[in-house]
Amino acid sequence: MLDMIIGKLIYLPGILIGLTFHEYAHAKVASLLGDPTPRLQGRVTLNPLAHIDLLGFVALLLVGFGWGKPVQINGGYFRNFKRDEILVSSAGVTMNLFLAIVFAGIIKLADISGTAFFSGSLAGSIALEMLWAAVWINVILMVFNLIPVPPLDGFNIVAELAHLRERGFYYQLYEKGPILLLVLIFFNVTDKIIGPMANFLLEGIMKIYY
C-alpha cells in the first residue's frame, strides 16, 4: 500500500506540470490570436488551480490518462477561424511534446554529468524517477488528447481539416462525445490506442539523446 502511494506521489509533479502547461498553451495561443476570453477568465496563467479538472486529475493519477479544465474560446475573434482553431487545438499537445523532450533532456544531462546526487542518494533517485514520470505523463497527455473524439483536441483538429462543422451531425456528435469517450475508456479501447502510440513516441524522443 505504501509503495503504491509513493508511486502515485512520484507521478504528481509530472501530472500538475503536464495538465497546467497543456491548458495554459491553449489559453496563451488563443489570446495571442486575438481572443480575450481565456485572459478574462484567468486562464492565461501557470497557476495549476486555474487549469486542474478534479475528475481529469484523479483519472490521470489512478487510471493513467486524464484531462484538464477545458479552455473556453470565442472563435469570432479569430482572423482566420479554421487556421486559428487548429493552432489553438494543437497548442496543448505541442506543449506536452515539448515538455517531454525537455524532461528527457534533463535526464540525459544528469546521466552524462555523472552527478553523485542522482546516482548516490535516495533523494537523487527519487528526483530521477520523477523526471521519467514527467516524460511519460506528457507523452500520455499528448497521445490521449489526439484521439479524435469530442471534446478532445484531436477531434477539433480533425473537425476543421475535414470541414465537419458544415455537417449536420457535428453538433450531435460533439454533444454525445463525452459519453462516447467514457464508453471507449470503460471497454479499454483507449488503452489499446494509447499504449502503442505512447511507446512509439517515447522511443522517438529518447532517440534524440541516445
Q: Read off the pLDDT of residues 141-186 as tens digits, 9 standing for 90 and up.
A: 999 999 999 989 999 999 999 988 888 888 888 888 889 988 888 8
Burial annotation 122-148 (CB, 10 A radius, 16+ → b, else e): eeeeebbebbebbbbbbbbbbbbbbbe
Q: Is pLDDT of 4 > 80? A: no
For the cut 80, the answer to whether the pLDDT of residue 118 exceeds it is: no
Residue 100's pLDDT is what? 98
Q: Is 85 exposed, middle or buried (0-12, 13-18, 19+ CB in 10 A)?
A: buried
- Position 119 scores a pLDDT of 67
pLDDT tens string 99-111: 999 999 999 988 8
Contact, 34 vs 74, CB < 8 A? no
pLDDT tens string 21-57 = 999 999 999 999 999 999 999 999 999 999 998 888 8
pLDDT band at 10 (very low <50, low <70, confident <90, very high): very high
Check whether 116 has a pLDDT greater than 80. Answer: no
C-alpha cell, 80: 482566420
Q: What is the pLDDT of residue 110?
A: 85
pLDDT score of 113: 77
What pLDDT is attached to residue 3?
Answer: 72
Average pLDDT of the chain, as a whole number: 90
Looking at residue 44, its pLDDT comes to: 98
Q: Taking the domains of the chain in order of start, what are their residue ranges?
A: 2-209
CA torsion angle 89 90 91 94 (round to 10): 160
Is residue 68 within 8 Å of residue 23, measured between CB atoms? Answer: yes
Query: Among 19, 28, 88, which Cα is nearest to 58's?
Result: 19
Using the predicted structure, report yes or no on whether residue 83 has a pLDDT greater than 80.
yes
- At 202 the pLDDT is 95
What average pLDDT does this structure show over 84-102? 98
pLDDT value at residue 97: 98
Percent of the chain with pLDDT over 70: 96
pLDDT score for 168? 80
